Every structure is written in C-alpha cells, then in structure tokens.
Chains A and B, each alone.
Chain A
Amino acid sequence: MELMKSENIVQDRQPQPQEEEEIMQQEEEEEQRFHVLAVDDSVIDRKLLEKLLKASSYQVTCVESGEKALEYLGLLHHSSPASSSSSQHHHQGHKVNLIMTDFSMPGTSGYDLLKRIKGSSWKDVPVVVMSSENVPSRISMCLEGGAEEFMLKPLQLSDLHKIQAHLLKSLPHS
C-alpha cells in the first residue's frame, strides 16, 4: 500500500555531513544560551516576559503556575530534595540557569515556590521574584527567603540587565 512508501522517504533523506554539522552547531549554541524558567499565571505577562527574555537572547520556558514549575523541576511528588536525575540544574537534559516567578499566584505562590526551590537540589539556581505591588515587607520576606532579586512589574528591557549579572554569577568556576 502507499503508506509503505514513507520508509523510502526516510531512507532517501539522510542528512548530509554539512547539514549534520549545522544541526550540531545549532544544538551547541542552544546549550550555551542561558535557560530561564518563567512562572506567571497571567497569560499577558507570560507573553511579555517571554519576549523580553528572547530579545535578550535567552532560551525561555514559560509555565502558568507554581505547581507546573515544581513539576518541571521534578519537585512535585518528592518531599525530600533527593532526585533521580543525574546532575544538578538539569531536567530531562535541559539546564535551568534562572527562575523568574510572579509573587501572587493562586495555589502555590511565588514565595512557596521560592522556598521549595531553596530547599531542594535546585537551591543554587538564582530565583527572581516579580510583583506588581511595591510592598516593603513582601520584598524583605522574599529576599530573606533566598530570592536573588525582587522586581516590580511591568518589567522593562532595562530590568533584564540586572538579570544578566545574576546569570553570570551562576556560571561554574573554571
């Protein structure tokens, strides 16, 4: 039947050595870019944050809740920091260099997420907390809870420069 022909199609289309090199180069470049996990329950703010981060050449993964973030980090069903994955800062092969989370989210709040992360094998990953409200007690609570930075929304391109400093700090020492 005609469907069998798909095997031939796969066989005919072997990547040429030149293309293979390009693909490998692309994958290497992606690995070298910083990967940010962005957490926000607002679809508008997720879109904005994604654009801001991409405009600064970061790789971005957006999730819509604290629970989804914990799931992504493999922390959802484990009460202890022990994880089954091989090394720190890796999830299914993807590293996470920075986590940016909104403070006010239903369910698991940004603060809850911060505490969970700091009590886990991801504790060395910088966490930035964002909020539309300028509440001093909230700010100190987050900073004391281990947040690298507290940023007021809406974020602007200029705010991303501060982020860069934190990301560079997280690079392994040679």
Chain B
Amino acid sequence: MDLVQLQRQFVDYKTSLYHEGFLDEQFTQLQELQDENNPDFVVEVVSLFFEDSERLLNELARALEQQNIDYKRIDAHVHQLKGSSSSIGAQRVQKVCIAFRNYCEEQNVEGCLKCLQQVRHEYSLVKTKLESLFQLEQQILTAGGSFPM
C-alpha cells in the first residue's frame, strides 16, 4: 500500500474509533501533548494503561471469587479503572465502570459479575483497536510519512 492510501486508512480508522465511542476527546489531548521531545508519549501512556488495567481486572476477578465479597475493595479497584480509562479517553471502558460502581454500592454480586465480563470485553476491544492504530502509524512512518499529517 502506498503512503497516501495508508494515510487515508489511518484517518478513516481513527475517525471510526471516535464515532463508535471507543475513544473520546481526552485521547486527542494526549496526542496534542506529544512532541519531538517525547515522540512516544501516547504509546507510553497507553502501555501504562494496558498494564494497569490488566492488573486491576485480575484483582477484580479474584475479589469477586471470595466467599465474603469485599465490595469496598472492589469499588476501589473499579474507581481506579474508571479514572485511568477516563485519563486516556477510553470512553466505553469508563462507561461500564460507572455501572459497575452502582452495582458495588447495591452489593449486587450478579450485577458486578456481569459488569466484570462487560468491562473485560470493552477493554480487550479498545486494546486491539489502539494496537491496530499504532501499527498503522508505524507503517506510515516507515513509508516515509510523518505526524501530524
């Protein structure tokens, strides 16, 4: 694929991610912070998000398996996940976290388990999409293109 086609694909893909609610304005803010001094800033922050989220999702699964569920602890983890997803613009993940916290407050184990499943799903979707986006970016750079376009 030539550079122009790659760039077109990149723009279309990125637009669709915003359109489908996977990313919001905060992601744009992240990109605006990236500069020549920190050319990998967005990838770095997103990688931190991936690591942190995976840790939190594991903690959540473990916490929900307990005999006596500690809802305060679960809420604390979901609060963290909500915060970090909001900080990088992962809107759909953030939205599930809001519902998750409501079920925590109600001490509704069924609701919590459903939300855990949902948040896992949304997380894995946004992870895949961001990785594809970064890959496209890399292809453009390799083909001699630059950012911003």
Per the bound structure, the CA–CA distance linking A52 and B79 in Å amounts to: 23
In the complex, A141 has a CB within 8 A of chain B: no
A45, A47, A52, A106: the one contacting B83 at CB < 8 Å is A45
Task: State A42–B48 Cα separation when bound (angstroms).
Answer: 10
Q: Which B residues lie within 8 Å of A138 (CB)?
A: none
Whether B49 contacts A51 by the Cβ 8 Å rule is no
Interface size on B, residues (CB 8 A): 22
Residues from chain A with a CB closer than 8 A to the CB of B38 are 51
State whether the Cβ of A43 lies closer than 8 Å to any Cβ in chain B.
yes
Chain B residue with the shortest CB-CB distance to A52:
B33
Are the C-beta atoms of B44 and A132 separated by less than 8 Å? no
Closest to B53 in A: A44
Are A156's CB and B29's CB within 8 A? yes
CB pair B52 A44 closer than 8 Å: yes
- Tally of chain A residues near chain B (CB < 8 A): 16
Complex alpha-carbon distance, A154 and B41, angstroms? 16
A154 engages B87 (CB within 8 Å): yes
Provide the residues of chain B in CB contact with A51, threshold 8 Å: 33, 38, 41
Give chain B nearest CB distance to A161 CB in angstroms.
Answer: 15
Instruction: Decide if A23 is an interface residue (CB 8 Å cutoff).
Output: no
Which residues of chain A from 144 to 158 have a CB within 8 Å of any chain B CB?
Answer: 153-154, 156-157
* Docked complex: B30-49 residues within 8 A CB-CB of A: 30, 32-33, 35, 38, 41, 44-45, 48-49
A43 to chain B, nearest CB (A): 6
Do B29 and A45 have beta carbons less than 8 Å apart? Answer: no
**Contact A132:B41 (CB < 8 A) given known A47-B48, A106-B76, A157-B33:** no
